[in-house]
Structure 1
Amino acid sequence: MSLAALSLSPVTEFAAPSRSAAAGFAMRLVEPRDWDDAIAGFDGVCQEQLASFAEARWPGVALEPQLFTLDGEVVGGCLIMVQPLPLGLGAIAVAKWAPMLRRTETADAGAIYARMIDALSAEYAARRRMMLSVLPRAALGSGNAEYEHLLQCGFRPGARLLFPDRYIVNLRLSDAEQRASLQQKWRYHLNKADKAGLRFEAAGPERRAEFDALYEQMVDRKKFPDHSAYGTVPALLAIDNAALRPELFFVRQSAADGQGEIVAGAIIFKAGDRAVYLYGATSGAALELRAGYFLHWHIIRWLRDNTEARWYDLGGTDGFQGLHQFKKGMVGERGFIAPVPPVANYAEHWWPRLVGEGAFAGRELAHRLGRYVDRLRPDRAKPDQHRGAE
């Protein structure tokens, strides 16, 4: 059976062995300890779909890694997080940035994605009577075909990020093409940084303590509340599989002794077709030196020359205008800015939908209240200084 022959119609009885065998398409549960290695070569692999990340970030959820095969060949996967609800009211099955495709550029990618959604819906929404919550990634181009497909399958729009835009750089350009793509002001600052006596370093995980010190220094200096998943960094940098382990980079100010002070650093997820900027840190000297421009320019070049990634996802801005200008300038003419779609929720029974949507509404209210309290803090950093373009 060819991939092109996959039906886009719902697979309402996917779990039945006879139907699965007849279709040649199957979903099977794998052990979390085996999951990361199983998906290491996927185009669609991302940090949030790693068991190493999820175990550190969400210790209270059950991980159910599902691998999809067609005629025995692995074609996709999805790490489902089963979140129990209070008072034993049920559970929600959560898939963030998933399901993933092993190959994203084949003509049959959309059909395979549709089959994975059918299988997950049949297992979690129909058979186990949960609400299935899926959050696709920002699309690489106009529209978001995955999200549109979810809506066509009966998923309902749920919560959306307050600042959904993601800033995505094209990695497959020569140095000259990349510089020409940069916005003029960004290019001006990069030229200044090139003359500031800075040095770029690719480092190993054994230097995590240096990044931790720089990050803590930045948080203390800028006084912003850190709601990130930074606590997962030790687990990520301890991943045995080098293809999945994030890369650590530093920028050092030149000195007569050949050492000099570290003024900027970044942790980058490099696997798959989309590298992702996870965390950055700067010293107080970084702004004047324009170390952030120098750092990202050399990360772009390193990713192009050392990985198969085609894109570099810079993440969002949390609404800070200075960060928007910095990232927009780096995206330039050859990259693009695309939104993360809302969460898509699906339930086949009224009770899972009621308690699931109620749980998400409560969580969203708590997040918004937390942000409001953060804004009232008298020592809160000014917006343009919060994770700014240093």
Structure 2
Amino acid sequence: MTSLGKRQIHTDAFGGDCLDASPAVEIDRMDRGGWYTVMNGFDDANIFQTWDFGRIAHPGRDLSHIVLRRDGQPVAAAQLLVRRVPGIGGIALVMWGPLWRPKGRPADPADFLAIMEAMKAEYSVRRGLFLRVLPRVEDGAGEGARALSAMEALGMRHSDAKAPYRTFIMDLTRDEATIHKDLSRHWRRGLAKAEGAGLEIVEGSSPEILDAIDDLFIQTQRRKGFRAFDSRTLTKVHRALPDGMKMHAVMASHNGEPVAGVVVSLLGDTALMQNSATAEAGLPLNAAFLVHWKAMQWVKANGGKRYDLHGVNAQANPGVHLFKRGFAGKGEEERVFIGTFEAPGPMLSRLLVEGGQTVRTLAATCTAQASQMMAMAMNKGPAERADATTPSNPV
């Protein structure tokens, strides 16, 4: 740890001594419980920054944690996923971080700049890693512009390896009657039909509910001919998370059979739709409308101020885009985030990461083309109705 007026030595995760150059910066000084204590102090906390997501979803990486303190209090923090190749280099990845909106105090762009500077100094310069950061920051003239200025000042380059995250975000500070009134006409009709369809609703944090929704998601993938991610990984993360951080699931059944479900996480003040799916039998019942409405009600009742519907692509999946836009409400525009930024580090780390990235991109392109051909062969066009939403990994 470092402090104003006094520089201290710390030992990093790989056993090396480091003389900190930035004041009030801690690196690799806490365990799982300590990290969750820090996370709970931020409004922009999210599941991708949890210890258990890093450990379970990325088992081949080491976890590293950096915390910026002012007057002893954390004002910015980040979890990094680190993979090293001995003698060559490696990568340090920040998924939806750093956290820099402390609860109970205004977010300070200077803290964002300071922790980005500290991460670049530690991981890119000192450890010689390829640093890749995806901040949870919306593009625009205010906060987004300041974040972009900070990246430019640090010499961080914008990456086009993945398109910027796009989504709809519901404003839950409105009362429920206003939220309902602001739904699109299509959405209000769909919800009314689902409410009269005799669906049985169960909700909670029971792993059994999430397991059932995972089964629905697998059915949806097979029917629509896509492969987005393995939702069962998130269910494993859910089982490991502390009680106060577990996800919430809503499932609809008809005649005793599950027909639709949605899973959400609420850390900080913004909820995130994590997984959603509908069985074939749930389509004529409009079951997806009811489970999403119930999930939103739970988020609002538990203090969520915003509800991120987790990813849209109007070109690749227009049906889901229409569904989410209608749910977000009148006047709600598609949100675009600032994207991914990189500090490439030494040449060996850069070649290691970018070479592997080229191979993965080629493989993903071939897989996507094969899936599209399979869907067309099954008479499933790209504009298939929005019976399920397909959340995307942010990086």
Q: Tell me if both proteins adopt one fold, taking TM over 0.5 as the criterion.
A: yes
1:387–1:366: structure 2 CA closer, same or farther, 3 Å change rule?
Answer: farther
Unpaired runs of at least 5, structure 2: 1-17, 390-395
Identity of aligned residues (%): 26
CA distance in 1, matches of 2:388, 2:230: 21
Match of 2:43 in 1: 43
Unpaired runs of at least 5, structure 1: 1-14
In the alignment, does 2:54 pair up with 1:54?
yes
- Asked if the contact 1:266/1:280 (under 8 Å) is kept, the reply is yes
Please show how residues 16-165 of structure 1 align to structure 2 within 5 Å.
16-17=19-20, 19-20=21-22, 23=23, 25-31=24-30, 33-34=32-33, 35-84=35-84, 88-103=87-102, 106-139=105-138, 144-145=144-145, 146-162=147-163, 164-165=165-166
CA distance in 1, matches of 2:103, 2:366: 38
Deviations 1:262-306 (A, max 9, x none): 321111111112111111122222111111111111211111012
Among 334, 337, 348, the residue aligned to 1:337: 334
1:142–1:181: structure 2 CA closer, same or farther, 3 Å change rule?
Answer: farther
The alpha-carbon deviation at position 131 of structure 1 amounts to 1.9
- Asked if the contact 2:211/2:235 (under 8 Å) is kept, the reply is no
Match of 1:292 in 2: 288
The alpha-carbon deviation at position 203 of structure 1 amounts to 2.3
* Aligned amino acid, residue 234 of structure 2: V
Match of 2:178 in 1: 177
The alpha-carbon deviation at position 348 of structure 1 amounts to 5.1
SS at match of 2:124: helix
CA distance in 2, matches of 1:311, 1:226: 28
Cα RMSD after superposing both structures: 2.7
1:248–1:373: structure 2 CA closer, same or farther, 3 Å change rule?
Answer: same
CA distance in 2, matches of 1:322, 1:230: 21
Deviates more, 1:120-129 or 1:281-290: 281-290
In the alignment, does 2:369 pair up with 1:366?
no
The alpha-carbon deviation at position 37 of structure 1 amounts to 4.5
CA distance in 2, matches of 1:142, 1:329: 26
The alpha-carbon deviation at position 124 of structure 1 amounts to 0.9
CA distance in 2, matches of 1:355, 1:164: 25
The alpha-carbon deviation at position 117 of structure 1 amounts to 0.3
Please show how residues 178-193 of structure 1 align to structure 2 within 5 Å.
178-193=179-194
The alpha-carbon deviation at position 113 of structure 1 amounts to 1.0
CA distance in 2, matches of 1:310, 1:166: 16
The alpha-carbon deviation at position 233 of structure 1 amounts to 2.7
The alpha-carbon deviation at position 121 of structure 1 amounts to 0.7
* Aligned amino acid, residue 328 of structure 1: R
CA distance in 1, matches of 2:152, 2:355: 20
SS at match of 1:132: strand
Match of 2:305 in 1: 310
